[in-house]
Amino acid sequence: MEINPNFCLSISLILFTIGTAGVLLRRSIIVILMSIELMLNAVNLTFAAFSAQLRSMDGQIFVFFVMAVAAAEAVVGLAILIALFRLRGETDADGMNRLRW
Amino acid sequence: MILPQDLSIHTILPMVLLSATGLAVLILGTGWSRTAFMARWLALSGTLLACLATAALWGRPAESFAGALVLDRFALVLHLVFQISCGITVLFSFRSARALGRRSGEYYSLLLFCTVGMMVLTAGTNLLVIFLGLEVLSISLYILSGIHRERRESIEAALKYFILGAFSTCFILYGIAFLYGASGSLDLAEIGRILGRAAARETSGFMRAGLGLMIVGFAFKIAAVPFHSWAPDVYQGAPTAITGFMATATKAAAFGGLLRVLYLSFSAPAIRETWGPVFALLAVATMVVGNLVALAQDDVKRLLAYSSIAHAGYLLIAVATATEAGVRGILFYLVSYTFMTLGAFGVIGLIGQKEGKGESFSHNLAEYAGLGYRRPILAGAMTLFLLSLTGIPPTAGFMGKFYIFRAAVGSHHVGLAILGVIFSAISAYYYLNIIVYMYMKRAPREGMEPRISFAGAIGIGISLAGTLYLGLFPTGLWGLVGNLL
C-alpha cells in the first residue's frame, strides 16, 4: 500500500505545531524537553516523506544524523536539568528568575 | 572501498589539529592536578598551530569531501576570527578557570570543540554539514555556559540557552527539510540552481516556508529582536570569558552560516527581493530594542549583552542590502567587533575576579568608580574598547560601521543607514557612562584592587592592538575580504 506523502507532511506539521505550543506554553522543563523531541521527530517525518516522494536517499541519511544529534542534545539537556534539580529541588520554569533586567 | 578523488584531507588540517588538541586536553584534564595545569598551555598551543595551518591554506581556494566543505577566503577569514577569539578566551580563562580545578580540562576541550564546530559551520556548503557544525558548536556552548554547575545563575543561564537553542535548531531543521522537499538536494549551490530556475516561473510554497523557518532559526542564534530574549540572561549567567567568546565567535559563526545559505541558495534576484526587506525589519527592531534597553542597565556585563544585540542590528543592515559590498562590510565588522568586544569582556572578567572566591556574579557599574586612578592602564584599555564600540575614530569600530553604512547607502537603503547612525549616537550615552564612572566618580572604598594576571594582560594587549590597527590601517583587511563568494 502506498502512503500519500501529503498525508505524512500534514501529520508532521501538526506534530511540529504541538511541539512548538508545548515549548511555549508548558511550565515543566521536562515537558518542554519532550516537546522539543516531538518537534525533532516531526522534522524526521518530513525528511522521510520527502525522501520517499523524491526517490532520493539524502533525506533518510539526514534522519539518522538528526537522531544522533537529538540523543546528544537530550543528554546535555537532562544533565543540566539534574544540576538544576540538585540546586533547587524542583524542575519548574517559573522559578528561573535569578536573571532578569 | 572507493574514495572520491577530491578528498583533499590537508584542507581540514586546522580542524583536525583543534579536535586532536581538544581530545588531548580532555585526557590530560582527567588526571591529577598538575596535568590540569598543563591543559591550558596545550589548548593555547593547539589554537596557535591551527591558526598557522589556516593561514597556510590562504590563497588556494580548496574543496574537500566532494565539495561539502569549501575553504574559500570567506571561510578562512572567519576561521581565523574563531581561532583568535578562542586563543584570547583561553588567555582570559587562565585565572578564572582555576576555580574549576580538575574540570578545567573539560572547559578547555569544550572550547576547542566549539571552535571546530564553528569552522565546520562556516566552511560547509551542504545543509547536512552546516547542521552538524551548528550542533557541535551549540552543544559545547550549552555545557560551557553552565560549567559552574554549583551556581544557580550559571545553571539557569545554561538551561535557558539550551531550551531556546534546541528550539531554534528545530526551526532550522524544519526549514532544511522544506528546502530539501522543494529542490531534492542538500547541496546549497544545487538548491540555488534549482530554485533560481523555478523562481523564473513562480516561487514555491515549500521554498518560502523553508527560507522563512531558516531565517527564524538563525535570528535566534544571532539574537536578533524579537528572538533575543535568551541573550542577556545567558550572557550574564555564563562565565565572563565564555560570554566574550559567545558574543564574538558564535555571532560570527551564525552570520557566516546565514550568509552562506542566503548567497548560495537564495541569490537569484527574484528571491533576493523576498528576504531583503525581512532583514531590514529585523535590523531596525534589533537596533531599537538593543540600544534602548541598554540605556536602562546598571550592570556592565548585562549592558554589554544588550550592546551586542544592538551590534547584531548593525550587521543585519548589511545583510539586508543583499550585495557583495554588504558581505565585505559584515566580514570587516565581525573582525573588528571581535577584538573590541573580547577586550571589553576581558576587562570585565579581570575586574570581576575576587580574591579566593573566583569570579563574582555581579558587575555593577559602581565597582568601576575611580578605576581610571586605581588601574590607569586597564581603564585606558577599557576606554578604548568602549570608544570603538561606540564607533569613534580612529578605532576599528568606526571603520566597521563606515563600511556597513556605505554598503547600505550604495544599495539605496539610505533610511537604514540613517537609522544606524542615529542609534550609534544614542549608544554613545551608555558607553560613555562607563567612562564617566571610571574617571569622574570617586572610588567607594579602598582595598578592592583587581589583580591582573599576566595571561589576561596579554589577551587585553592583543585585543587592543587589533582594535587600534584596524582603525588606523583598515585597507589591509578590507583588501583581504574582497572577491569572496
SS3 readout for B257-311 = HHHHHHHHHCCCHHHHHHHHHHHHHHHHHHHHHHHHHHHCCCEHHHHHHHHHHHH
Nearest chain A residue to B164 by CA distance is A23
- Reported residue count of chain B is 485
CB atoms within 10 A of CB B355: 9
What are B353's strand-pairing partners?
B359
Residue contact B184–A56, C-beta within 8 A: yes
CA distance B249 to chain A (A): 21
Architecture of domain A5-92: Orthogonal Bundle (1.10)
Does the predicted interface ipTM exceed a cut of 0.90? Answer: yes
CA–CA dist B21, B109 (Å, integer): 8
Q: Model-level pTM greater than 0.90?
A: yes
Q: What number is the average pLDDT over the span A70-87?
A: 93
Q: Which residues pair with B69 in a beta bridge?
A: B64, B124
Q: Give the CA distances from residue B44 to residues A17, B139, B262, in Å, rounded to whole numbers and listed in that order.
A: 45, 22, 34
Q: Which residues fall within 8 angstroms of residue B166, CB to CB, at 6 or more apart?
A: A36, A73, A77, B138
Nearest residue to B40 (alpha-carbon basis) of B100, B77, B88, B93: B93
DSSP-based three-state secondary structure for A31 = helix
Neighbour count for residue A54 (Cβ, 10 Å): 16
CA angle B247, B94, B141 (to 5 degrees): 35
Q: Contact at 8 Å (CB) between B325 and B406? A: yes
Q: What residues in chain B have their Cβ under 8 A from chain A's Cβ atoms?
A: 127-128, 131-132, 135, 139, 142-143, 146, 149-150, 152-153, 155-160, 162-163, 166-167, 169-170, 173-174, 176-178, 180-181, 184-186, 232-233, 236-237, 293, 296-297, 302
Burial of A34 (0-12, 13-18, 19+ CB in 10 A): middle
Burial class of residue B415 in the structure, from the number of CB atoms within 10 Å of its CB (0-12 exposed, 13-18 middle, 19+ buried): exposed
Residue of B171, B172, B180 to mutate for A, most A C-beta atoms under 10 A: B180
What's the CA gap between B394 and B397, in Å, rounded?
8
Q: Which of B257, B225, B50, B311 is nearest to B133 (CA)?
A: B257
**From the candidates B174, B176, B188, B207, which should be mutated to test the interface with A, based on the most A CB atoms within 10 A?**
B174
Helices (H) and strands (E) in chain A, counts: 3, 0
Sign (positive or negative) of CA dihedral B367, B369, B373, B379: positive
| Domain range summary for chain B, segments of one domain joined by + | 9-480
| Other Cβ atoms closer than 10 A to A36 | 25
Å from A35 to nearest chain B CA? 9
CB within 8 Å: A101 and B302: yes
In chain A, the residue whose alpha carbon lies closest to the alpha carbon of B305 is A101
Closest to A12 measured CA to CA, from A50, A41, A54: A41
pLDDT at B317: 94
The closest CB to that of B174, out of A16, A33, A100, belongs to: A16
For the cut 50, the answer to whether the pLDDT of residue A101 exceeds it is: no
pLDDT tens-place values along chain B, 485 residues long: 445 555 677 788 999 999 999 999 988 877 666 666 788 899 999 999 999 999 988 877 677 777 788 888 889 999 999 999 999 999 998 888 777 777 888 899 999 999 999 999 999 999 999 999 999 999 999 999 999 888 888 898 999 999 999 999 999 999 999 999 988 889 998 988 888 887 656 667 888 889 999 999 999 999 998 899 899 999 988 999 999 999 999 999 999 999 999 988 888 887 888 888 999 999 999 999 999 999 998 889 999 999 999 999 999 999 999 888 899 999 999 999 999 999 999 999 888 876 555 566 678 888 888 888 888 888 999 999 999 999 988 899 999 999 999 999 998 889 999 999 999 999 999 999 999 988 988 776 655 566 778 888 999 999 999 999 999 998 888 888 876 65
Residue with cell 593561514: B55
Confirm or reject contact between A63 and chain B (CB < 8 A). Answer: no
**Nearest CB to B170 within list A39, A54, A81:** A39
As a whole number of angstroms, the distance between CA B119 and CA B71 comes to 10
C-alpha cell at B159: 538551561
**Residue type present at position A57:** M
Q: CA–CA separation, B213 vs B275, rounded Å?
A: 12
